[in-house]
């Protein structure tokens, strides 16, 4: 096999995105689109990978910095040809071939790129362009190919005339070029176009001038080579990516009651026999176990969920760990650094933040537990809260095993409740409670007659 390297173009701002952010950092199914391109290229195990950055270069480098990547800055940004030329020093003395592609094609697959390379090698080609056919090719460069598969020219949309715009074979922006030829041809590019930029597509005319026959590798997989140039494109690519992930999950034994309304990120894993109801979003690197049931309207991010967990409607889980056989919701909110033990019940309108809830414990209604440690088999009554913030610092509440906490209790942290204790309803606990104790902290009930009641009744009767 020949030697291969890659140049990935990621310098553009993406003007049509109308965004303050670099285009390749926009998310597709929860990940920056450039990440998918890098994954596809890495799968080929090439010798060198060069990423050309420009707009918000520091942000791109910070997000993707890795020992196997070489970052080159294009400044100013003067077109795709100029961008590739910035990599000339990195490929100096490299006798192989260079794969060139854009960082805004997140649907491209390693298999397609592998087939592209195989075609390039089998034809002993020095320059090959990956093309496809679109019924509506607006915005793409048109590729004029003869009957022998030789590329005669590529014309950008903005520079094409009415006849050229009728061509439906388009340039995907993916090329394979022999390294020495590539950088020799780049030296001759001109910027005599309406953008005053150096187009990579002009390699074709330069190659013909050097007696090199550029070849076209046509793919019928038109969707996988779609680039993202606008918010509309981003929405379409997201939809295609979600469909791909949904299909994979269903093939792995996951039940999706309405696949089109389930929004999973690419790194999400779900065990078999788990059922996902409509309008659920699972993002980040979340992992869902087997035989779970997730009701409509739930949002789960960067969380690990065990087996046989039931999450009821409208619940939100963010960066939490949930063990098996747990019942959550409806309308529960589990916030970061929360760990839920086995057989725990977290009921409706319960919020938990940075807390550990032990095996078999329950908080069934209208409760807030923050910065707390809840032992095993503890009952937390309705309306209970941990008052963990004193205005400057967060403090812990510790409730040990087998405690029973009545309704409407406030724990003013820092405070510890010993194992086996009972807290009376309506209490405000400000001091530690020894184990096996009853703690009640509320004023004595007093009843006063309403002396004016009879007079009011009399007046009503008079009416």
The pTM of the full predicted model, rounded to 2 decimals, is 0.87
Band (pLDDT 50/70/90 cuts) for residue 462 is very low
Band (pLDDT 50/70/90 cuts) for residue 463 is very low
**pLDDT above 80: residue 416:** yes
Distances (CA, A) of 208 to 16, 126, 140, 192, 212: 33, 12, 22, 18, 5
Side-chain half-sphere exposure of 124, counting CA atoms within 13 A: 0
Tens digits of per-residue pLDDT, 118-134? Answer: 999 999 999 999 999 99
* 29 and 176 fall within a common domain: yes
> 372 with 397: CB under 8 angstroms?
yes
* 194 and 258 fall within a common domain: no
Q: How many percent of the chain have pLDDT more than 90?
A: 86
**pLDDT above 70: residue 453:** no
Q: Which two tokens stand for residue 262?
A: 């389930």
Helix (H, G, I), strand (E, B) or coil at 58: helix
Residue 443 is classified by DSSP as: P
In this prediction, residue 443 carries a pLDDT of 85
State the virtual CA torsion across 158, 159, 160, 165 in degrees, nearest 10: -10
Stretch among 67-71, 215-219, 242-246, 441-445 having the lowest mean pLDDT: 441-445
Tens digits of per-residue pLDDT, 143-195? Answer: 999 999 999 999 888 878 888 888 999 999 999 999 999 999 999 999 887 78
Count structural domains, the chain.
2
100 in a domain, yes or no? yes
* 280 and 139 fall within a common domain: no
**pLDDT above 80: residue 97:** yes
Average pLDDT value over all residues in the chain: 94
Mean pLDDT for the stretch of residues 54-82: 95
Neighbours of 368 (CB within 10 A): 20
243 in a domain, yes or no? no
Q: How many percent of the chain have pLDDT more than 70?
A: 97
State the virtual CA torsion across 283, 256, 36, 226 in degrees, nearest 10: -130
* 168 and 268 fall within a common domain: no
* 86 and 174 fall within a common domain: yes
Could you give the strand order of the β-sheet that contains 280-283, starting from the edge strand earlier in sequence? Answer: 262-264, 280-283, 299-301, 316-318, 333-334, 351-353, 368-370, 385-387, 410-412, 428-429
53-58 contacts, C-beta under 8 A, 24 or more apart? 53/10, 53/11, 54/10, 54/11, 54/12, 54/13, 54/83, 55/11, 55/12, 55/13, 55/14, 55/22, 55/23, 56/21, 56/22, 56/25, 57/11
Band (pLDDT 50/70/90 cuts) for residue 452 is low
Band (pLDDT 50/70/90 cuts) for residue 442 is confident
* 213 and 257 fall within a common domain: no
* 260 and 169 fall within a common domain: no
* 209 and 263 fall within a common domain: no
Stretch among 39-53, 190-204, 331-345 having the lowest mean pLDDT: 190-204
Distance CA 365, CA 329 (A): 9
Distance CA 33, CA 104 (A): 6
* 189 and 309 fall within a common domain: no
Domain that holds residue 58: 4-218
The b-or-e profile of 326-345 (16+ CB within 10 A means b, else e) is bbbbbbbbbbeebbbbbbbb
Mean pLDDT for the stretch of residues 262-287: 97
In this prediction, residue 90 carries a pLDDT of 94
> 52 with 86: CB under 8 angstroms?
yes
* 161 and 276 fall within a common domain: no
Name which of 218, 215, 222, 258 is nearest 240 in CA terms: 222
Distances (CA, A) of 121 to 4, 208, 250: 11, 20, 37
Band (pLDDT 50/70/90 cuts) for residue 1 is low
* Domain at 23, CATH number: 3.90.550.10
455 in a domain, yes or no? no
- Catalytic positions: 365
256 in a domain, yes or no? yes
In this prediction, residue 461 carries a pLDDT of 47
Tens digits of per-residue pLDDT, 305-335? Answer: 999 999 999 999 999 999 999 999 999 999 9
Band (pLDDT 50/70/90 cuts) for residue 281 is very high
In this prediction, residue 454 carries a pLDDT of 55
**pLDDT above 70: residue 242:** yes
68-77 contacts, C-beta under 8 A, 24 or more apart? 68/42, 69/38, 73/11, 74/11, 77/11, 77/12, 77/13
In this prediction, residue 15 carries a pLDDT of 87
* Domain at 363, CATH number: 2.160.10.10
226 in a domain, yes or no? no
Tens digits of per-residue pLDDT, 220-231? Answer: 999 999 889 999
453 in a domain, yes or no? no
Name which of 270, 296, 292, 269 is nearest 281 in CA terms: 296
């Amino acid at each position: 096999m020949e030697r291969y390297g890659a140049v990935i173009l990621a310098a553009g701002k993406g003007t049509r995105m109308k965004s303050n952010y670099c285009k390749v950092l926009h998310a597709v199914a929860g990940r920056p689109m450039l990440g998918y391109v890098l994954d596809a290229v890495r799968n080929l195990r090439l010798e060198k990978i060069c990423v050309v950055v420009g707009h918000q270069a520091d942000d791109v480098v910070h997000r993707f910095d890795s020992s196997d990547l070489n970052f080159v800055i294009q400044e100013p940004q003067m077109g795709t040809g100029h961008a590739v030329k910035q990599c000339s020093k990195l490929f100096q003395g490299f006798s192989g071939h260079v794969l060139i592609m854009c960082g805004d094609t997140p649907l491209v697959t390693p298999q397609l790129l592998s087939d592209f390379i195989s075609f390039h090698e089998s034809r002993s080609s020095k320059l090959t362009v990956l093309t496809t056919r679109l019924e509506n090719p607006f915005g793409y460069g048109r590729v004029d190919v003869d009957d022998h598969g030789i590329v005669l020219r590529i014309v950008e949309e903005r520079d094409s005339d009415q006849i050229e715009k009728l061509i439906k074979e388009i340039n995907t922006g993916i090329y394979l070029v022999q390294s020495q030829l590539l950088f020799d041809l780049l030296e001759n590019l001109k910027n005599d176009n309406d953008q005053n930029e150096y187009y990579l597509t002009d390699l074709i005319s330069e190659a013909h001038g050097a007696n090199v026959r550029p070849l076209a590798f046509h793919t019928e997989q038109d969707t996988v080579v779609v680039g993202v140039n606008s918010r509309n494109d981003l929405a379409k690519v997201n939809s295609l990516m979600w469909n791909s992930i949904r299909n994979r999950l269903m093939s792995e034994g996951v039940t999706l009651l309405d696949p089109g309304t389930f929004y999973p990120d690419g790194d999400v894993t779900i065990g078999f026999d788990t059922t996902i109801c409509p309008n659920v979003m699972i993002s980040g690197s979340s992992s869902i176990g087997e035989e779970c049931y997730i009701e409509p309207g739930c949002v789960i991010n960067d969380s690990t969920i065990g087996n046989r967990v039931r999450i009821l409607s409208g619940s939100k889980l963010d960066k939490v760990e949930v063990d098996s056989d747990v019942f959550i919701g409806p309308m529960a909110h589990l916030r970061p650094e929360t760990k839920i033990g086995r057989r725990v019940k977290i009921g409706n309108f319960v919020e938990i933040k940075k807390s550990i809830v032990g095996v078999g414990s329950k908080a069934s209604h209208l409760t807030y537990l923050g910065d707390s440690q809840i032992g095993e088999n503890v009952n937390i009554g309705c309306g209970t809260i941990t008052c963990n913030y004193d205005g400057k610092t967060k403090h812990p509440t510790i409730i040990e095993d087998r405690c029973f906490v009545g309704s409407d209790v406030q724990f003013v942290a820092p405070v510890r409740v010993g194992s086996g204790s009972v807290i009376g309803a309506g209490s405000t606990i400000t001091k530690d409670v020894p184990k096996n104790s009853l703690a009640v902290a509320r004023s004595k009930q007093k009843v006063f007659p309403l002396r004016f009641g009879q007079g009011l009744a009399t007046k009503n009767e008079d009416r």
